Amino acid sequence: MTESTAKQPARRGRIFPERTLTPEELARRKAEDELFYRRCREIFERVRPDLIKEHYGWYIAVEPDSGDYLIDVDKMQAHKKSLEKYPNGRHCVFCLNETGTTGTI
């Protein structure tokens, strides 16, 4: 057998090492995201009983800073409505059903 002489340089490390986040920064971001989700979920749980009767299976986009929410039959339309009304804000989209989620695992 003959051994190949061409060798590719081994890639080591990240493509952009200057953009690597510290474990502390990752933990901080995760905690912020969890807090944001809990604030959105709290609003969703408060309005769900009233909306689920007439809009079962629709989608609700919740903006927690204002406490406002927008509903639509289409998930992307609910998302777009929220982006139009709050272009610089964050929002979370839920489904109006028993769990707030869609699909199966």
Domain chopping of the chain, boundaries:
24-96
Q: What is the pLDDT of residues 24-52, one digit of tens each?
A: 999 999 999 999 999 999 999 999 999 99
Instruction: Tally helices (H) and strands (E) across the chain.
Output: 2, 3
> What is d(CA 105, CA 103) in angstroms, rounded to the nearest whole number?
7
Q: Is the dihedral of CA 87, 44, 58, 92 positive or negative?
A: positive
| pLDDT tens by residue, 46-77 | 999 999 999 999 999 999 999 999 999 999 99
Buried b (16+ CB within 10 A) or exposed e, 9-39: eeeeeeeeeeeeeeeeeeeeeeeeeeeeeeb
pTM here? 0.76
